[in-house]
Amino acid sequence: MERYIVPAVILILVILISAAISPYNARRERIHEFAGTYFAHRGLHDLAKGIPENSMAAFERAVLYGYGIELDVRMTADNQFAVMHDRSLKRACGIEKNVDELSMTELKELTLFGTNQTIPVFYEVLKKVAGKVPLLIEVKCENGLDYKEIVRELTFYLDSYDGKVLIESFHPGILMMLKRERPQYLRGQLSERFRGEPLWMKLFASFIFNFLAKPDFISYRISDSGFLGFVLQRWVYKAFAAGWTLTDTATEEEQRGNFDFYIFEGFLPKKKEEVKAGKARKMSGFVRKHIIVSGEVQGVGFRYHASYAAQRYGVTGWVKNLYDGRVELEVQGTEETIDLMFASIEAQRFVEIRDREVRSLPTDPHEYEFKIRY
């Protein structure tokens, strides 16, 4: 009997570790819609033309060329989101300060890499892109910063944004918070080999925190694609993978099959047709309704409670206030989940729905989120 104890313990450990580092594959049909997409790294920048990285000009140029946009966001001293890769402003702006030490107003007075371009405000970028191309947002969070506050600020803006968005971060706490607070957003774990870094950093390369974050995709340095951590994720657990940073077509050909989509810079890749999902999302039992409600429905937190209830019960769609005091919604789910959503809203103390105007609409198999519109 004793001779079986050690093998059994080893088997249990293998199973536990396997469960801990496996990605979240339940939404593969959704993430697969991004297969074949090219994201311009920090926008389609070209400093020789006066277009620096993470600038409004770089984002406008990416939209013009039809590429997706990868950008970085980080918190300022006054809890706003600036679009900037480095925490230090030395490389981009030439001053010995950190982004989180200055207010957004102070940051807007600086220029990028000797050009006339200034540091973008995140919501201004969202307004400019306006859903024309997909966004891949890297959320920065160094030691000492509150990742929960960062996620709350991020989702405040994204909840009202009407466009395709992927969110990624090296910080598993960011993804864990998103999983709990905004499960509808697709999230990705950034990683690399972390050469020369301490052991706790190397754990990131092994995706040891996936059991908390449950990422929908991994985003890995292309030059580290032969590393064991990536091999396990990509080929054993079949993780959907982004490769960064692609700089030439020769590397793309060498890495073909290792990654599903790319973050690129320094050249213009030839965009390929998007790879279609293997099978369409099942909509059996789903309905979609356009609803206008009247009563005590504005100024009482109706939209907030609608958004929270929709996330809780898996309802998608949108909600917005009308100029005449009513609220308009489109909701998609089963009859039961939509009823549960409205029951939750009506249970709020100050909300009183006196009338509903309802009409049926065709379902949308490509909708996965619930948004607040303005």
What single DSSP character describes residue 85?
S
- Give the number of other Cβ atoms within 10 Å of residue 373's Cβ: 15
The answer to whether residues 159 and 133 touch, using CB atoms and an 8 Å cutoff, is no
Task: Indicate which residue of 79, 258, 321, 373 is catalytic.
Answer: 321
Give the H/E segment covering residue 331: strand 327-333
- C-alpha 110: how far from its chain's center? 28
Task: Indicate which residue of 42, 61, 182, 303 is catalytic.
Answer: 303
Structure token digits, residue 7: 């093998």
Question: In angstroms, rounded to a whole number, what is the distance separating the alpha carbons of residues 135 and 152?
Answer: 18
DSSP β-bridge partners for residue 357: 292
Which SS3 state, helix, strand or coil, does residue 299 take? Answer: coil
Q: Is-catalytic flag, 321?
A: yes
Question: In angstroms, rounded to a whole number, what is the distance separating the alpha carbons of residues 102 and 97?
Answer: 8
Q: Is-catalytic flag, 30?
A: no
Q: What b/e readout covers 219-255, taking b as 16+ CB neighbours within 10 angstroms?
A: bbbbebbebebbebbbeeeebbbbbbbbeeeebbeee
Known catalytic residues are: 303, 321
